Structure 1
Amino acid sequence: MSALRVVPANRHGRERLYVCRPDGSNVAWYDRETGRVNLLGEDSRDAVLQALKPFLTGPVTVGPPPVPTPAELARLTLHPDDDLAPNRPGEALLVALDRDPAHHRLRPDPRRRALTAEETVGTALDGLEDAGWHTLHSIALPGGDRIHHLLLGPGGLFAVHALYARKTRVRVADPMVTVGRREPEPLLRRLRAVADRASYALTAEVHPLLALTGPADVTITVQPRTVRILQDTELPGLGRLGGVLKPADVEALHAMARDRRTWGRV
């Protein structure tokens, strides 16, 4: 085998070097992070190692690609249009604002405050990835409801609702939540209902969590039933939770949750 080319690429956040034939087809790839050369055919072993020799920085494992797990297979077969993983925090609001940016001309658009809350909370949750957590954003449910953020990790599953409360007093009297001088609303009841729908879709317990962004003060008359209430600055502490799900279970649930079709039956 002659004239093999080495082409660098970055896939799913991992740096790889692909070894290609002159026609562009791959015969192997080198994953720097794992120190593994994955061969698509054993007959190309010597030629691949010779082509990669200038790039190898230490001992490597050479062999066929590892057999994908069921979660990896589900991800690989998922159509891009059905994959929710690329959703940005506040995806639905971003789309709505792009379609109708002048929704309120005479006063501030409340959607922009809601977007700020979802982006703030989403950024904090995305920061838990290194601790073995995944976050999916802006999951639409039948009937118009939406899960702002779905957090999956070693400590379980959480349906997270982001609420803008910057420099405002928040009062919680289950199920009512009052932000500043606004009228109280039964937000905790709705959040529990959304978490129940998520539990049904994933056949796993999903806990409701209310995330308050930047409140001046929070008063909770009685600790709400089943609902966890945190400020956005407290969200990184969720990374210390564990003992509920094994890594393989987290990956399997993430593969199921990122499929848009999972949510069509709730």
Structure 2
Amino acid sequence: MSRLRVTPTHGQGRGRLYVSLRDGTTVAWYDKDTGRVSLLSGAGRDEVLSVLAPYLTGEVTVGPPRVPTPADLDRLSLHPDDDLAPNRPGEALHAELDALGAAASARSSASPAPSTSSTSPSSLLSRRWRQDPRQAELLAQETVGDRLDGLEGAGWRVLHSIPLPGAARIDHLAIGPAGVLAVRTLPARKRRVRVDDPMVRVGRAAPAPHLRWARRAAERASRALAADVRPVLAVVEPARLDAPPMPTGVRILRDTEIAVLASLGGVLKPADIESLYATARDRHSWLRV
């Protein structure tokens, strides 16, 4: 039995057949409109063509995903509401915490002064806002976002807080000479982080499948951009990081190690980077992944 499976999907207005591993990772797709089989890493050409054989019609072209052309870019005249480039790191968290803070301020203004024997609802709401765990998550996303933005001088383009269908988000998307990276942020200030693929445990908290979530984000980005996207887990300020050298398909970095990406290259040329960035910043590119 083949380790690959074929799934029909209609994405970005085109009928496609996606080829994926048993864990759901896409390794290729067949675009019936253009007669092209686009190959990603994870499976060989012959293996992909074998599983697609019952579906192929006429002559097909096989190769890596094509990069958008200048003609493609001409069609990307974005309305400001559809442009993701202005998004701040943790954009969605900013909105949630701003709403909570505004509610605390409004309650405080409307409430009479509390008595000495009790705590007012407005004080409780204000305290909850200050202690909300999303504050730490936002700080971590801002830290990683700032370090990724610092790669711009090395030819990288970066987007933050990309919304996906189903209320999911990609924390950061970095496009540069070393390829396309979907970066998931993990706040771990002064806590030990232990990785046992796909689970990650931060301090004494219950383990969570952060590596699975990172792979899934990269998978969805790959479909949106028709390009090979690799997952990265960025661990922010851990006291200790216990992780295997390279979990399958996921790169794990401390936030202080992000700068090393500036020295990597050999995957994308400057024109390719700009083309992919133009596609990625369009909100509509992410509606069907």
Task: State whether TM-score is above 0.5.
Answer: yes
Structure-1 separation of matches of 2:138 and 2:92:
9
Distance 2:85 2:72 in 1: 14
**SS, match of residue 208 in structure 2:** coil
CA RMSD of aligned residues (A): 1.8
The count of corresponding residues between Structure 1 and Structure 2 is 198
Find the partner of 2:277 among 245, 250, 254.
Answer: 254
1:235 counterpart (254, 258, 269):
258
Pick 1 or 2: higher relative contact order, CA cutoff 8 A, min separation 6. 2
Query: How far, CA to CA, are the matches of 2:168 and 2:127 in structure 1?
Result: 26
Correspondences of 1:169-208 after superposition (within 5 Å): 169-208=192-231
DSSP 3-state at the match of 1:162? strand
Corresponding residue of 1:82: 82
Equivalent in the alignment of 1:56: none
Identity, % of aligned positions: 58
2:173 is matched with which residue? 150
Unaligned runs of 5+ in 2: 1-69, 105-124
In structure 2, the CA distance between the partners of 1:247 and 1:164, relative to structure 1 (3 Å rule), is: same
Aligned partner of 2:169: which letter? Answer: R
- 8 A Cα contact 1:90 1:115, kept in partner: yes
Residue 97 in structure 1 maps to residue 92 in structure 2: no
Q: Is the Cα–Cα contact under 8 Å of residues 159 and 195 in structure 1 kept in the other structure? A: yes
CA displacement at 1:132 relative to structure 2: 0.6
For the 8 Å contact 1:168–1:217, the answer to whether it is kept is yes
Distance 1:139 1:200, change over 3 A: same
Q: Would the alpha carbon gap of residues 117 and 71 (structure 1) be closer, same or farther in structure 2, given more than 3 Å must change?
A: farther
Aligned partner of 2:43 in structure 1 is none
8 Å contact from structure 1 (residues 173, 222) kept in 2: no
Q: Which residue of 2 aligns with 1:165?
A: 188
Contact 1:202/1:256 (<8 A) preserved:
yes
Query: The residue matched to 2:167 in structure 1 has which SS?
Result: coil
- How many angstroms does 1:73 deviate by? 3.5
Using structure 2 for the length normalisation, give the TM-score: 0.65
Shift of 1:113: 0.4
State which structure, 1 or 2, has the greater radius of gyration over its C-alpha atoms: 1
Whichever residue aligns with residue 112 of structure 1, its letter is Q
Q: TM-score, normalised by structure 1?
A: 0.71
Aligned to 1:127: 150
4+ residue segments displaced more than 3 Å? 69-75, 102-107
In structure 1, stretches of 5+ residues that fail to align are 1-68
